[in-house]
A and B are shown apart, each in its own frame.
Chain A
Amino acid sequence: MSSSDQQGQALIESLLLGMLLLVPLIWALGVLADLHRSALATAAAAREAGFEAATASSDATAAAAVDAAVARALIDGGIDPAEARASWAAIPRLERGAAVEVQVSYPVTVVQAPFLGRVAGPSIWVTSRHVARIDPYRSL
C-alpha cells in the first residue's frame, strides 16, 4: 500500500475512535446527572413530606400532606411525580413524640437518548428516607 493510499486514513480513524469513545461518555454524563438530580429531588421530597406529616393532626391529613409535598418537591426538581413511589409510616402512631418515616423512590432510566428522553430499559431506583419527630409539646 503506497503512502498516497493511506492519505486521510488517520483522520477517519481518529473521528471514528473519538465518536466511539465520546458517545458513551456523554451518555454516562447524562445518566449520572439524572441520578444526581433524582437523588437531590427525592431527598428534598422525603424531607418536605416528613415535616408536613409531622404537623398533621390525623392519618388522612398526613397522607394528603405527604402526597402534596412529594409531588411539589419532585416537580420542582424536574421529575414526574407519577413515576415516583412514596410511602410513610408513623411509629408507633401519629401522636406526640412519635417518629414519622417517609420514603421516596424514583426510577432513573439508564437508557436515554439525547433530545428524545427516556427509552425503555433498565432503571436505577434512587431512594431517600427521612425520619421526622413529632413535637412532643404540640397542641394536637
Chain B
Amino acid sequence: MLVLGAIQVAFVLYARNVVAASAHEGARAAVELGRNVNDARTVASEVVRSSAGGLVEQMEVAVSVQAVGDISVVRVRVTGRLKSFGVIPLRIPVGSVATSVRKEAPA
C-alpha cells in the first residue's frame, strides 16, 4: 500500500509538470505568427494528452489576452484533476498558468 501510494505521488508530480509545460506550450503557440488563441487551446490539450494520456481528467484550458500598450499578454491556464487509480481515492487537482507576450494582439 505504501509503495502504491509512492507511485501515486510520482504520478501527481509528473502530471503537475506536464500541465505546467502544456500551459507554456499553449501560451507560446498563441503568440506565434499566424496562430491564435484557439491554437493555444489545441496545443495545450494535445501536450497533456500525448504526455500524460488519460492521467489528467476534466481538463480545461482557459486563454485570455490582455493588451498592455503596444504588446498583448497571452495568459493560458490549464486545470484538471488527476485520475484516481491508487490507494488514495482522491482526484487531486492540478493546474498551471503560463504567460507569453507578443507585439500585436492575436487574431
A36 to B21, CA, bound (A): 10
Segment of A73-81, A92-100, A102-110, A121-129 in the binding face: A73-81
Using a Cβ–Cβ cut-off of 8 Å, how many residues does chain A contribute to the interface with B?
A: 21
Determine if A72 and B13 form an interchain contact, defined as CB atoms under 8 angstroms apart: no
Q: Which of B2, B6, B20 contacts A37 (CB 8 A)?
A: B20
A41 to B97, CA, bound (A): 13
A29 at the binding interface (Cβ < 8 Å): yes
The minimal Cβ–Cβ distance linking A93 to chain B, given in whole angstroms, is 23
Q: Which of A29, A44, A73 contacts B10 (CB 8 A)?
A: A29
For residue B98, which residue of chain A has the nearest CB? A76
Q: Which of A26, A41, A73, A77 contacts B9 (CB 8 A)?
A: A26
A16 at the binding interface (Cβ < 8 Å): no
Instruction: Name B's A-contacting residues (CB within 8 A).
Output: 2, 6, 9-10, 13-14, 16-17, 20-21, 23-24, 27-28, 96-101
A–B complex contacts, Cβ < 8 Å, 25 sampled = A22-B2, A22-B6, A26-B6, A26-B9, A29-B6, A29-B13, A30-B13, A33-B13, A33-B16, A33-B17, A36-B13, A37-B17, A40-B21, A40-B24, A44-B24, A44-B28, A48-B28, A48-B100, A72-B100, A72-B101, A76-B97, A76-B98, A76-B99, A77-B20, A77-B24
Given A25-B6, A69-B101, A77-B24, output 19 extra A-B contacts at Cβ < 8 Å. A26-B9, A29-B6, A29-B13, A32-B13, A33-B13, A37-B16, A37-B17, A37-B20, A40-B21, A40-B24, A41-B20, A44-B24, A47-B28, A72-B100, A72-B101, A73-B24, A73-B98, A76-B23, A77-B20
